[in-house]
Amino acid sequence: MKKIIVTIAALSISTLTLQAQTEKGTKFIGGNFGFNSNNNSRNSENVSKNSSYSFNPKAGYFISNNFVLGANLGIVYTKTRYSPSQTENNIISFGAGSFLRHYLTITERFRFFSEIELSWITSKNEPTKNNENVIKQYARYNVYSANLRPGLAFFPTKNWAIEMSFPLFGYTRQTQKNIFKEVDRSSDYTIISDNFNFGLSTLSPLIGVNYHF
């Protein structure tokens, strides 16, 4: 009988400890790393290989039970190589954003969450290079976006959480300014584009690790 009471007490303490991780006043820090590589071909003669690496640190504060308000930063390096011309584009992007997330308890260790994120990213496309010359042109990008992401968080211990989320709905406005170096700057021009995306995409997951305290 004593063993049963001790076991029930231990389980109760464990449950309360896990629930405390999303209570008002709790904080977390964390982030995610990403890598993506793909090949695109318009025909058998024109092929491009794209590789990107990303790091996104973030921090959050629970303003009420199961509701967290936070901010994040983003660094992305993208390299695109074209064949058979052997030209190469390199883009380094920096960004910042804020998010509001709501957790819904499924079990003691699993929680579903939905997140709204607002973000801004700026980047510069370095001059295109090939084996013979450098094209005197580059582009600057500013991207503003709003996204809704559902996700799942797993708490293996009282302080750590492993999570995965997928994009469901997103709006993006991109401003691209093309600049010509060492030529008549009147040739510069700007392109503005707006995009909406809807639908759960399992091809673009975000995987992260957070520390709650």
pLDDT beyond 60 at 105: yes
Least Cα distance to 141 among 126, 122, 128, 127 occurs for: 122
Segment 147-169 shows an average pLDDT of: 93
| Residues spanned by the domain of 179 | 2-212
pLDDT in tens, 44-84: 556 677 788 888 999 999 999 999 999 999 998 888 877 76
Give the type of residue at 83.
S
pLDDT band at 89 (very low <50, low <70, confident <90, very high): confident
pLDDT in tens, 19-45: 678 999 999 999 987 777 777 665 555
CATH number at residue 147: 2.40.160.20
**Structural domains of the chain, count:** 1
Q: ∠ CA 68-72-78 to the nearest 5 degrees?
A: 145
- Burial, 41: exposed, middle or buried (Cβ in 10 Å; 0-12, 13-18, 19+)? exposed
